[in-house]
Amino acid sequence: MSAAVEEQMVVKAIREECPWESLPKRLQSTLHTKDEWHRRIVDYCIRKRLQWNTCFARRVYREGEYYEEMMRYLRKNLALYPYHLADYICRVLRISPFRYYCDILFETMKNEQPYDSIPNFTAADALRLTGVGRNEFIDIMNKCRSKKLMWKLNKSIAKDLLPTQPVDFPIEPWWGVCLVNFTLEEFKKLSEEETATIDKICKEEANSYVLFDPKIIDDLYKRGLVYFDVPVYTDDRFKVSRLEGFVSNKDQSYEDPIEELLYAVFVVSSANATVAELAATLQADLYQLQAAASFACRLGWAVKLVDADSLLKDEGGPAFPSSILSDDEEGSNASINSEKSGQQSLSIDTNGPRKISGTAHVGFVVDANVTSYLMMGSLSPGLKSHAITLYEAGKLGDSCIAELCSDLASLEGKKFEGVLEEFANHAFSLRWSLECLKSGGVSTNKNSDNTDDANTSTSSLHDNVTAHLVNVNIEDTTEDGHDEVPHDNHSTSDLDNKDGNVSSMSVDLSEDGESLVRVKAENGSTDTTVLTIQRKYTVDVLRCESLASLAPATLERLFLRDYDIIVSIVPLPSSSVLPGPSGPIHFGPPSYSSMTPWMKLVLYTAGHCGPLSAVFMKGQRFRLLPEPLAGCEKALLWSWDDSVVGGLGGNFEGNLVKGNLLLHCLNSMLKQSAVLVQPLSTNDLNESGNLVTVDIPLPLKNDDNSIASVVAQANLPKEQVFNLASVLKDLSSKFQLSTLGYLRLLRLNRLVESDKFHPENTSYQWVPLSLEFGIPLFNPNLCERICEQVVASHILQKADLAEHNDVMHNVRRRLRELCSEYQATGPVAKLFNKRGSSRDLPRTLINSISSRWNLTDDSASPTNREAPSEHERLKLAGRQRCRTEVVGFDGSTVRSYALSPEHDESTSKPISGDQSSTHEGKSDAEDADSKDVVLPGVNLVFDGAELHPFDIGACLQARQPLWLIAEACVASSTFL
């Protein structure tokens, strides 16, 4: 029996509390003895930090022995103090948190272990209670080592250098005060005030810290006679603040459910969600979640939202349930109720895109690189705390955003060089992005009062309306904290007008954020005023690696519960988790396929324009380059596994390699992944031998459906603007671009006849190179232009983002169709790679197009032909195409031929919108959730207008038909 299977059976038996006699025989044979079974029970319960009276260990161990064994295990692993078990460990065993952490620090020093060996949460809690941090730890060790002989003979001298009393730390008024088991000697030493205080603690059911004299309680605590309980109830709400005092040492190497749950709690926490709702979101044990929230409050990382009126009331009930594993009726009902409330809060209308009203909650997803940039103390010391919180907690709440932007603004005007300049660029971009999202895409410089000639009565009316709308917002705030407008978008109230002219006012809230205010006077006349009331926006910064660590179902519940809009940076790591189509509106990659070169092919085929591109399958090896690549000056390389993503911050630049190195680079990269290659001639490059590109911010169109401002932002010479505008208009008509991101255009040497009307535009042409979804932080200029475009398009102010939803659905559909058509199991790949190789299939030669692929005038190229005239090239580019057209290279000539359609009728039929479902294979939601990278199953070439299979068998080394390899494998296996 394997170790994994054995462990699963042991855990199942412990949870079912099976005695030794009832264990399966094969498990008994593995454990050998009854004592070994008891040891496994205790080990499991200790690892899970279970209470003795509620776990299986109560049947095999005494209570004192169990907790003593647990404390030995915790000390050995330098683990966190088990505050949820303080009722026995602190009250009976008299092991206070201060004493426990002093013992841990001493053991670490005695074993001469570094400070970094202490886990993060343990070090942070020890620092809070003992005041011994990294610097103090090093100082004590240096003092000990200075006494070399004494240190070698008696290492207990380190204990004398540790503090003898806990340091002062903040205590919240709602914390509970609990007594330990006194000895007779301790009781005799109490003063009258202390005795009265202890009597009050024993008699009063409510023992909140605020009810007692703080000086007396603090003195009793430092003598170890009282300890603090941090009660957390199922209906409590918390707000996670910055992780002040967090110590970044190492990840724990042992199992601690409280610590593991803390990281998840930081990510999913919300001031609008109760503890029970958080447990329902995480599908976590409610008792352990309460313990994790209690610990976060102890360290000041979470703030309990306490009702001042209920602070002195009788709380009633224990801080934690009496049992973890019990199935009592009350606990079951509580779980069911919390689960139902969680489901109700997550319910949305799945029949269409989500609509936003009231307050829009935005989640801005970044990666760990951003935390690294903010961590640089040389940029701004104030940013380090934000960086630690974002990295460790995985989230920066809306309450921290204003302070973060203020710290980022302190970098303005400073000069940075080298790598620091790149870090500063990310900081500038982050600030602009957060301010843009926080304002809801509305310019802060915009003058809201466009009616300067308004009279006094209108101004007075405006004041009355504003006051009324404030009351409406307060009254219509739902219990979960989300501001919602009335369902009928209408409210009416009576106004107390001193002049007696106005009797009533009605407010109609439209979907676009405008309020139509109708004021009815006593004489019966009605006046209508239009006021633009911007929607309020809250922004949380989320780290994608922390989101990816959550279970998919948990992440989906988090998105649906807390956010209306998700905005992602670009590029995102391939391990990131994307919201599904039924989740929040996502301004980012619509699916994982869009983060691969498939997106480029979709863009090229949709617009019927783009650079010459060749796609090669993984695992091939070339002996010579095919004609589109032979003799090129340079080439752009893109892989399906992101191995060629270059530049600091991972910005999508691709790899630009020289033509004489292309063969070697291709053979090296094809071992790991499929590759897309885009050859470039000398005329396609500038004088420095580099690409000429321009980044167009998205959304492309302004609120008035114009693209003039986008073209003006490009800052191109006047003779280039006309060509750019025409390309953008043509592309936007074929491929909608109403989303956040940027479109990169590439300037290529023009191969068409001269334009009679614009002769200055005959030397080049702009073609799309790539389309990226999200906000790029690596380019502050581009990021600022995208934010300006968000303001100009009013895209975030729309209550119904149906247009964006349709665009993303269309992108996902196009990606599915392209991937399903050209993947290994697709119809084109099946036909092209069928038995006997494609060269054995009947074909009809269309023409020889070798001259069309020539990229240079180098006569030494073996495949070079006489350069055709412009008329011949136009005729060639406009040739009649068919669905089964294949471009082939036999080593000397490139030819275009068509396979006989009777061999596979499915490939000869174009894929229409109605028939696309036959190739989809996955639903829209499944495609967005699938992280599987679909690789090309056939070599492809995009000739500038169409995508075709590419027959390059003559260029490959030791090429054998697939059917022959399969038969050889079957035959060889019979001899084994």
What average pLDDT does the segment 84-113 reach? 91
Residues in contact with 123: Cβ distance below 8 Å, sequence separation at least 6, in sequence order: 115, 133, 247, 249
Instruction: Tell me the pLDDT of the chain averaged across its residues.
Output: 74
Question: Looking at the predicted structure, is the pLDDT value of residue 71 above 90?
Answer: yes
Of the residues 553, 583, 613, which one is the last residue of a structural domain?
Answer: 583
Task: Output the DSSP codes for 4-44.
Answer: HHHHHHHHHHHHTT--GGGS-HHHHHHH-SHHHHHHHHHHH
Q: Is there a domain that residue 671 lies in?
A: no
For residue 390, give the DSSP letter.
I
> Cβ(633)–Cβ(856) under 8 Å?
yes
Q: How far apart are CA 229 and CA 770, in angstroms?
A: 57
| Region for residue 608 given its phi and psi (left: phi exceeds 0; alpha: psi -120 to 50; beta: otherwise) | left
Question: Looking at the predicted structure, is the pLDDT value of residue 328 above 60?
Answer: no
Q: How far apart are CA 690 and CA 747, in angstroms?
A: 11
pLDDT of residue 205: 67
Q: At what angle do helices 192-203 and 214-222 cross, to 10 degrees?
A: 90
pLDDT of residue 104: 92
Q: Is there a domain that residue 933 lies in?
A: no
pLDDT digits 0-9 by tens, 733-745: 887 788 888 989 8
What average pLDDT does the segment 711-727 reach? 69
Q: How far apart are CA 148 and CA 451, in angstroms?
A: 83
pLDDT digits 0-9 by tens, 754-773: 444 444 445 778 889 989 89
Question: Looking at the predicted structure, is the pLDDT value of residue 871 above 60?
Answer: no
Sorting pLDDT into bands at 50, 70 and 90, what band is 216? very high
Burial group, residue 403, by CB count within 10 angstroms (0-12, 13-18, 19+): middle
Question: Looking at the predicted structure, is the pLDDT value of residue 490 above 60?
Answer: no
Low-confidence winner among 18-22, 817-821, 888-892, 926-930 (lowest mean pLDDT)? 926-930
Sorting pLDDT into bands at 50, 70 and 90, what band is 713? low
Sorting pLDDT into bands at 50, 70 and 90, what band is 846? low
Bridge partners (DSSP) of residue 723 are none
pLDDT of residue 406: 86
Total domains in the fold of the chain: 2
Burial group, residue 908, by CB count within 10 angstroms (0-12, 13-18, 19+): middle
Place of tokens 């979907």: 511
Q: Which two tokens stand for residue 102?
A: 């002093």
What average pLDDT does the segment 137-142 reach? 88
Positive or negative CA dihedral for 13, 19, 20, 25? Answer: negative
pLDDT of residue 761: 47
> Cβ(806)–Cβ(589) under 8 Å?
no
What average pLDDT does the segment 76-83 reach? 91
Question: Looking at the predicted structure, is the pLDDT value of residue 792 above 80?
Answer: yes
The order of strands in the sheet holding 514-521 is: 490-494, 502-509, 514-521, 526-532
Question: Looking at the predicted structure, is the pLDDT value of residue 459 above 50?
Answer: no
Burial group, residue 460, by CB count within 10 angstroms (0-12, 13-18, 19+): middle
pLDDT of residue 480: 41
Bridge partners (DSSP) of residue 639 are 675
Residues in contact with 222: Cβ distance below 8 Å, sequence separation at least 6, in sequence order: 165, 166
pLDDT of residue 748: 84
Q: Are strands 395-396 and 359-366 parallel, antiparallel or unpaired?
A: unpaired
Residues in contact with 671: Cβ distance below 8 Å, sequence separation at least 6, in sequence order: 618, 619
Q: How far apart are CA 922 and CA 926, in angstroms?
A: 6
Low-confidence winner among 150-164, 477-491, 516-530 (lowest mean pLDDT)? 477-491
Coil, strand or helix: which one is 432? Answer: helix
pLDDT of residue 921: 47
pLDDT digits 0-9 by tens, 917-967: 334 445 555 555 567 778 888 888 888 888 888 888 878 876 555 555 566
pLDDT digits 0-9 by tens, 641-668: 765 444 333 445 678 888 888 988 888 8
What average pLDDT does the segment 878-907 reach? 62
Distances (CA, A) of 160 to 137, 143, 662: 13, 11, 68
Residue 440: phi, psi to the nearest 5? Answer: 75, 25
Question: Looking at the predicted structure, is the pLDDT value of residue 493 above 60?
Answer: no
Question: Looking at the predicted structure, is the pLDDT value of residue 96 above 90?
Answer: yes
Positive or negative CA dihedral for 776, 782, 784, 790? Answer: negative
Q: Exposure pattern of 430-458 as b/e (b: 16+ CB <10 Å)? A: bbbbbbbbbbbbbeeeeeeeeeeeeeeee
**Up-side HSE of residue 424: CA atoms within 13 Å toward CB?**
16
Sorting pLDDT into bands at 50, 70 and 90, what band is 898? confident
Q: How far apart are CA 961 and CA 835, in angstroms?
A: 7
Q: What angle do CA 57, 63, 66 make, to 5 degrees?
A: 60
pLDDT of residue 733: 80
What average pLDDT does the segment 866-882 reach? 42
pLDDT of residue 649: 39
Burial group, residue 230, by CB count within 10 angstroms (0-12, 13-18, 19+): buried
Q: Is there a domain that residue 877 lies in?
A: no
Distances (CA, A) of 436 to 2, 262, 269, 699, 805: 55, 31, 24, 14, 21
Bridge partners (DSSP) of residue 615 are 676, 940
pLDDT of residue 489: 44
> Cβ(259)–Cβ(220) under 8 Å?
no
Sorting pLDDT into bands at 50, 70 and 90, what band is 440? confident
Residue of higher predicted confidence among 680 and 495: 680
Question: Looking at the predicted structure, is the pLDDT value of residue 732 above 60?
Answer: yes
Q: Which helix (H) or strand (E) holds 287?
A: helix 286-298
Say how many Å lie between the first and final Cα of the chain, rounded: 27
Question: Looking at the predicted structure, is the pLDDT value of residue 253 above 90?
Answer: no
pLDDT of residue 739: 85
What average pLDDT does the segment 7-31 reach? 84
Q: Exposure pattern of 111-146 as b/e (b: 16+ CB <10 Å)? A: eeeebeebbbbbbbbbbbbbebbeebbeebbeebee
pLDDT of residue 143: 85
Burial group, residue 920, by CB count within 10 angstroms (0-12, 13-18, 19+): middle
Q: Which two tokens stand for residue 736?
A: 């909608």
Q: Is there a domain that residue 401 lies in?
A: yes
**Up-side HSE of residue 111: CA atoms within 13 Å toward CB?**
14
Sorting pLDDT into bands at 50, 70 and 90, what band is 802? confident
What average pLDDT does the segment 56-76 reach? 90
Q: Is there a domain that residue 226 lies in?
A: no
Q: Provide the residue range defining the domain that includes 14.
A: 1-77
Q: Which two tokens stand for residue 69?
A: 């064994």
Q: Are strands 655-658 and 634-639 parallel, antiparallel or unpaired?
A: antiparallel
Identify each DSSP E strand in 764-901 by its residue range: 764-773, 775-776, 843-848, 885-889, 894-899
Q: Is there a domain that residue 5 lies in?
A: yes
Which residue from 627, 632, 620 is spatially nearest to 667, judged by alpha carbons? 620
Q: Is there a domain that residue 2 lies in?
A: yes
Q: How far apart are CA 269 and CA 433, in angstroms?
A: 23
Residue 620: phi, psi to the nearest 5? Answer: -85, 160
Residue of higher predicted confidence among 762 and 73: 73
pLDDT of residue 840: 52
pLDDT of residue 74: 92
pLDDT of residue 844: 58
Q: Is there a domain that residue 661 lies in?
A: no
Q: Which two tokens stand for residue 646?
A: 């270059």
Question: Looking at the predicted structure, is the pLDDT value of residue 82 above 90?
Answer: yes
Bridge partners (DSSP) of residue 556 are none
Coil, strand or helix: which one is 355? Answer: strand
Q: State the maximum Cα–Cα separation within the chain, in Å, rounded to a whole number.
A: 111
Q: How far apart are CA 92 and CA 69, in angstroms?
A: 15
pLDDT digits 0-9 by tens, 154-199: 778 888 889 999 999 999 989 999 999 988 888 888 899 989 998 8
pLDDT of residue 895: 76
pLDDT of residue 519: 47
Q: At what angle do helices 34-47 and 63-76 cross, to 10 degrees?
A: 60
For residue 959, give the DSSP letter.
-
Residues in contact with 311: Cβ distance below 8 Å, sequence separation at least 6, in sequence order: 173, 174, 208, 210
Question: Looking at the predicted structure, is the pLDDT value of residue 261 above 80?
Answer: yes
Give 289-292's long-range contacts (Cβ < 8 A, gap of 24+).
289/261, 289/265, 290/84, 290/232, 290/233, 290/234, 290/319, 290/320, 290/321, 291/83, 291/84, 291/232, 291/258, 291/320, 292/258, 292/261, 292/262, 292/265
pLDDT of residue 354: 57
Q: Exposure pattern of 705-740 as b/e (b: 16+ CB <10 Å)? A: eebebbbebbebeeebebbbbebbeebbeebbbbbb
Of the residues 77, 93, 116, which one is the last residue of a structural domain?
Answer: 77
Of the residues 14, 43, 77, which one is the last residue of a structural domain?
Answer: 77
Which residue from 247, 341, 233 is spatially nearest to 287, judged by alpha carbons? 233
Question: Looking at the predicted structure, is the pLDDT value of residue 47 above 50?
Answer: yes
pLDDT of residue 1: 53
Q: How far apart are CA 712 and CA 728, in angstroms?
A: 13
